[in-house]
Amino acid sequence: MHNINIDTAPVASLLKAMGQRLDALRIKQEIKNEELAAQSGVNRNTLTRLWQGKPVSSENLFRVLRALGAINLVSEAVLEPSPSPIDLLDASQSKKSGKAKTKVYSSRLKPIKNEKGPSKLSVESAKTGLVKADREEIRKRYKKKKHASNQGPEE
């Protein structure tokens, strides 16, 4: 078997290489085609097509991989990746805070003060005007602004 570049090789070459590798795995495990067909529930002709690198259904491919004990070869494509340590930390911190935060952009918006004291802004958020605010506080500001605009000019 030769090395191929999976990023640039034609699909036909990839199918042929995969078929050869799976057939070699079957031979290494000393499993006959008839036995594998029975174990996987896949027709012997379909197995021959797979070994030759001809297209087979994904269902049949999964059945053969499972019967060969090689289903882990597709785990990256099938399983969700594990969350990174940073994702886990972010998730635990958002659960601890209890309140959902919303990003608000406004060059005129001043940092919101809550019951616990003034909000802390990073240097970057201070430059851009991006502030995290409680949703309730945003709703209050919106209602006040809307109410003031509906009253019209004073006479």
58-67 and 44-52 helices, crossing angle to 10°: 90
- The pair phi, psi for residue 55, each rounded to 5°, is -60, 140
52-73 exposure pattern, b = at least 16 Cβ within 10 A, e = fewer? ebeebeeebbebbbebbeeeee
Q: 135 in a domain, yes or no?
A: yes
Contact 43/4 with Cβ under 8 angstroms? no
C-beta of residue 44 within 8 angstroms of C-beta of residue 37: yes
Q: Which pLDDT band holds residue 103 (cuts at 50, 70, 90)?
A: low
pLDDT score, position 128: 47
Is 90 domain-assigned? Answer: no
Residue 69 forms part of a structural domain: yes
Question: Does the predicted model carry a pTM greater than 0.75?
Answer: no
The answer to which of 33-42, 96-105, 133-142 has the lowest mean pLDDT is: 96-105
Judge whether 5 lies within some domain: no
Same domain, 70 and 17: yes
Residue 86 lies in a domain: no
- Average pLDDT over the chain reads 76
Mean pLDDT of 7-27: 93
Q: Is 145 part of any domain?
A: yes
Q: What percent of the chain has pLDDT over 70?
A: 61
108 and 50 housed in the same domain: no
pLDDT of residue 77: 78
C-alpha–C-alpha distance, residues 133 and 129, integer Å: 12
Specify the CATH number for the domain of residue 50.
Answer: 1.10.260.40
In a domain, 21, yes or no: yes
Do 69 and 117 lie in a common domain? no
CA 48 to chain CA centroid, Å, is 35
Q: How many domains does the chain have?
A: 2
Give the pLDDT of residue 155. Answer: 43
Looking at the structure, tell me whether residues 15 and 67 fall in a common domain: yes
- At 60, is the pLDDT very low, low, confident or very high (cuts 50, 70, 90)? very high
Task: Select from 78, 106, 127 the last residue of a domain.
Answer: 78
64 and 15, same domain (yes or no): yes
| Domain range for 29 | 11-78
Same structural domain, 61 and 31? yes
